[in-house]
Amino acid sequence: MNNQEILAMGQQYVMNTYGRLPMALVKGEGAWVWDAEGRQYLDFVSGIAVNSLGHAHPRVVEAITKQAHALLHCSNLYWIEPQVKLAKILVENSCADKAFFCNSGAEANEGAIKLARKYAYQNHGPEKYEIITAVNSFHGRTLATITATGQTKYQKGFAPLPEGFTYVPFNDLEALTKAVGPHTCAVMLEPVQGEGGVVPADPAYLTGVKRLCEEKGLLLIFDEVQTGLGRAGKFLAYQHYGVEPDIITLAKSLGGGFPIGAMLAKDHVAKAFQPGDHASTFGGNPLASSAALAAMETLLQGGVLENAQVVGEYFKDKLTELIGQFSFVKEVRGMGLILGLELTIEGKDIVARCLEQGLLINCTNVNVLRFLPPLIINRDEVDQALEILKKAMA
């Protein structure tokens, strides 16, 4: 089938929940993908920060193939060896003590919300249930997580929304301090707001948030679904700040392209969950855990984190040069290989022109071009992307 045939069939049978581009991707290798008609593209979207090791990484492919021949699924009624090994590697490379596995970032954040409320209920009583999040945050698409998300465009048409969420401006410690009330049990933040326009937290802000949480007896939750696991240049983005959260949520790149999510927590918080409090049928199944284990071992042992830092700095410097070359380029933001180019115009036409010339990027928050290339990207591929971008902007 060609692109148009797939598009026509998709419009007939698939729900209209995405503004899809008029192409179907059928193959990927490294930082490159091909559509149904054989056209090649340089992928700086990475499945929205999912394919951090690029497409069809041999270690991940081998792990999936081997596990598929052995055992796909058995449920969490039994211990799962690759899941246990995955939990160990995540805990040993973070400030957490325990891991819970699910299937997506939204589920990880749902779990974090439940854990925070259960902990508060046990330690402070039923009046503590409210979670403060940031304006322009993004935490998922379930009813609870769109309510946690500080953007009304994701909530419109889904009322009544669950109660118990309050929003304050990001990087505004005074506003957060004022928002803490008798019902507050936790603060939930992204170290770098991804969907909100690639906005990093100020170091002084996160330090202040941590101090405030300690003073008020609140849990600190970091949503690292997009920023974690090397995307920001360190294993977890909070490690740039020296501020330890009580709960961390992960997904996207965790499985090297295979769906899996995780919620990590410090032991005193994790103890709030007992059998029956939370569960996931497919969470951390043998296949997903094997894929994730291979991806994490590669991330930590294969020089990938170092590459993300070095090439990320190079890419950011090159993007910064565009400020003087194009009058509508306002600012470059981000860290590692989550980078945003803020414009004074809408970005959708530039995204479309990049697509025509063989580069996949996307635009968030209307006017921020977002770049999420695989963490294995090299300078030559960055240079190729920049040449296409310049042509599209011109």
Active-site amino acid positions: 138, 223, 252
Burial bucket for residue 89 (CB in 10 Å: 0-12, 13-18, 19+):
middle
Q: How far apart are CA 260 and CA 90, in angstroms?
A: 13
Q: Strand 362-364 to strand 199-200: parallel, antiparallel, or no bridges (unpaired)? A: unpaired
- CB neighbour list of residue 67: distance below 8 Å, 6 or more residues apart: 82, 286, 287, 290, 291
What pairing do the DSSP bridges indicate for beta strands 130-134 and 32-35? unpaired
Tell me which residue of 117, 107, 118, 169 sits closest to 143, measured CA to CA: 107
Contacts of 365 (CB under 8 A, 6+ apart): 136, 195, 196, 197
Give dist(CA 371, CA 361) in Å, integer: 6
220: Cα within 13 Å, side-chain hemisphere: 21
Question: Tokens representing 89?
Answer: 């590697």
141-147: long-range contacts, CB 8 A cutoff, minimum separation 24: 141/106, 142/106, 142/107, 142/110, 144/109, 144/110, 144/113, 145/106, 145/109, 145/110, 145/113
Tell me how far apart the alpha carbons of residues 113 and 144 are, in angstroms, rounded to a whole number.
Answer: 8
- State how far the Cα of 94 lies from the Cα of 263, in Å rounded to an integer: 12
Cβ-contact 225, 102 below 8 angstroms: no
Question: What are residue 174's phi and psi, to 5 degrees?
Answer: -65, -45
Please, is 279 exposed, middle or buried when counting C-beta atoms within 10 Å of its C-beta (0-12, 13-18, 19+)? middle
